[in-house]
Structure 1
């Protein structure tokens, strides 16, 4: 039986009228919300823009004010004044160029240069660069004219030589109350663009003509906000302020003024992201911005920010969606209340229909029981069988008419009957209105021929016409049991194979650890062999160093004997004291080589670079004298503390310094070489946190580019046969790597090879006893 709504409800105009009023109210609410959100968000964007311009204007003035005093300060330098008076003095010009280069490096400006009264550049900090200003004439620049009039020149322009945008400060040089030259400092402004970059806004700085000379968007640089007049174009071209570049204006298609300092503008833009504007129509689109501006009177600039209004529209949309959602929820609540009342009135009719269809449902349930693919058995309250479906008859081999009235336990094997009755009694004790937990149980079924088979069964509680009955669902799980047994067998085989594989891997791992230990032992032997080989190479130097003290000892001993025979004891005592000093010197020399020859403990510990440097330089003392080489050590370098092994690091330094000495000697750096060329520089780098890097740079020919990737390969050497095995740098690389450090090689930009030894930094420790050896 189907319920049909009354036909007159479709013709009732009241619901349609209420729906129309709710729709109009919702539209009005959305419009008010959109307007309020637009105004409040726009005010918030204006406040954010003002805060941003506060920071940017302060940063711009602070950045430029750092350099404003420099021309006036440097104009008092006596050598600058002397060069302005004698521009043809080449030696003086070179010194001034170097002085300007150093001053520019310290100040961090782009370039400093000195001009004569006719605008000719006579000295510059970039005199060595390809785009040097020396010899160039800039008398057409307004800052030069202002300085020649005795004023401080200020000017922004695109460099005609370097093609770099910058701000120029100029100041006159005076001698005897007469202007004899102009000193100029140029400050590059491109660094500010990277600091100001923002994903949602664009910041620009314009000059008095409206030309954009600072912009966080590259494709807006050197454009104008409005087209320039012919007079302004001519003035800019004559001063070469922006070079030969054609100044085009931004495509502003719409502008609406909000206040004196803010407006809404729409700009015809390309696909964006800094790419040049495309000529394709599909690549062009309009972008709406909130433009805010603020003048910077000290420099005749105007700072402007362009904030995308996409965030404003997104905020308005969020507010509209939120209010719309709340309004719809309220309307739905009202509709729900109305529908609930209507449903309540219809529920009584539903109950009436339910009583009529209950008998039909019982018949349907019986049909389902008869046609299901599981065995279904219904029981009465006492656990007696009331019905068997065809599937249950097939499982147990009974005709349900013959089994009807029997206890359900007769279908279970003897071992599982108590389990069956326990479950039935549990259901009986459960209240009618309490949900009973249906447990899926496994048991052994008993067929009519008394054969057993595995089953899976579950018993449920039924209530038909206020009478309590039970329904048992039974599945034959014989096939599943076979699958489970096969699965258990496969799992056992897999566990056995995993165990065997684990045993093999354990044995392989043990062999690998043994090979690693043997490899480390071989490496230590190679290090020791390299040390002894180096001792062999230095045997001639050792012989030379020891022969001189031995000869002196013999001479002083003979003299002392003669003095004793002549009873000149004071002179004999003096000779004996000298002999003692010579023997102490020989003992120290031999002790150094004994320490170098012994094996390292291999355990990293905190140590000072000074200890390593002293030991290495003591070993190479004779070679340094032989090749007339000086070691230039940065004062702070020896006192840095690192985590390492002293003897192994001495070996690394000796290998690097020996290679440097041989490289400079073979390339012709002898005692007759220019001053400073036959030198090895040792200095420190601490740019990496938690690391200390010692740099060793020679002034030799450097490492060929083809050899650089193979420098640390074992047995690779560029020396003639018989002069090296090619394992020194390979061993050194392995030593530093084992100490959790890094050894790298490269060519210095000014010539020579540069080796870096980077090690973990260590905290200084107090030695409880002096180090021996």
Structure 2
């Protein structure tokens, strides 16, 4: 085969091979997505079965111990000993009727050793169990033998299916009769039906005892064997029900079909009478998801193919253009001239860049010097700002001390002098921390009880609060915050002072101090019912030297210092709106773990 004859074959292979690979890839995507969807459905079925089986267990466990407890009542053994005593029979009927009404069971009845029912909770009704013989029921035989009888069946008298639990009634250590309770599960089946799920409970013969679909009830998963039918006829478990096989076709890997619909079948074993709970979930969503995934993969392959064709065409055109340019000597000469010009421009740019770098270094040195001077000015202004409040408080305490001295009141005088001493010590600590302030570590380390610091700061502002008519309240959760006492007092002092300034001239107001622990955080909150802070100003007021107060009423360093103290201790400061109006400033720190607290102690 020559080259000309091979060209059509090669051309066809270039189309068919990528197409075959694309089809195989799409099939693999479809199969993978379908398997993943079916697995998800199976997991969901398992989870739902766990919940539904738990609800069934809970419903039956409510009544499991009822016959055992009620069998100890003296009236029941007495009636079994003398079945013809009308008085005892009336007492037993009344007892069973009352207990049945209180517990919510379907039926309670007492059976003699011969299988005849002596008393029942439904003794007043036309379908009363009294006089009926249930010797053929397995639960009666098991209880009469001294054990606990459990059985599910269609009621021989009422024709209503239910779960029967029986317990022996003893007289002088011997079994004298049987007390049984019937539990009807129709309400549970209605709940399953309302959920829209296909649920069934099958016994060991494969007969559907309970189901969310009434059409499936008392059907069989498959044709019953002769032995199973004989046993069911003997016990009259389903009485006259046909027990016809359901239109289910079972497949491998826990799947079944009904008509043209496929289902994933989840199964869970139950502890009651070798029951199994089955749930059928439609696989249509999994098939739809697989189709969509394959469609998406196909679209993606189309996009990739289009991009590949585009770049192949572009590369072809580029090769043609470069070939044409390579054939022209003039183009080469022009390119050479351009390169020479570019080289000269590059040299000029290098010279300009070197000069710019020299200017930049000079500007950097000037900027460093300016920052150093600004830092010194900010530090000095901050210290002056922080000392101003203790000085004002000392002046107030000193004036009070003179008044108390003139009046001969020594106890208040002693308290004022103590406050002055505390303020002096605080000023000493503040000035001693000047270096720590410069190194930005002044808020790190230490613990302080919030309640004690609140009381100290309240003493500082007592006169200002009274003069302004502002009420200061506390709501302390007994927390210790990760700040030294002087730092915590400085934070509270600045925040309370700002709140007082916001309430100035209003005639009355309220400032709230509180601590709380939530979401793994220790929080300190200062709130007021003043005019609040506009949202556009909340980020700017934390900057140094920014103030909303009139000129001469502050340097704008208070909140900046508070933010620095909180952040230095690993916390975060936020400003927001107080519910009901006003401003709320919140400082939060991560709560220390138990291991960290143990190391600190």
Give the structure-2-normalised TM-score.
0.49
Whichever of the two has the greater Rg, that structure is 1
Q: Which has the higher contact order (CA 8 A, sep 6+)?
A: 2
TM-score with structure 1 setting the length: 0.38
Q: Higher helix fraction: Structure 1 or Structure 2?
A: 2
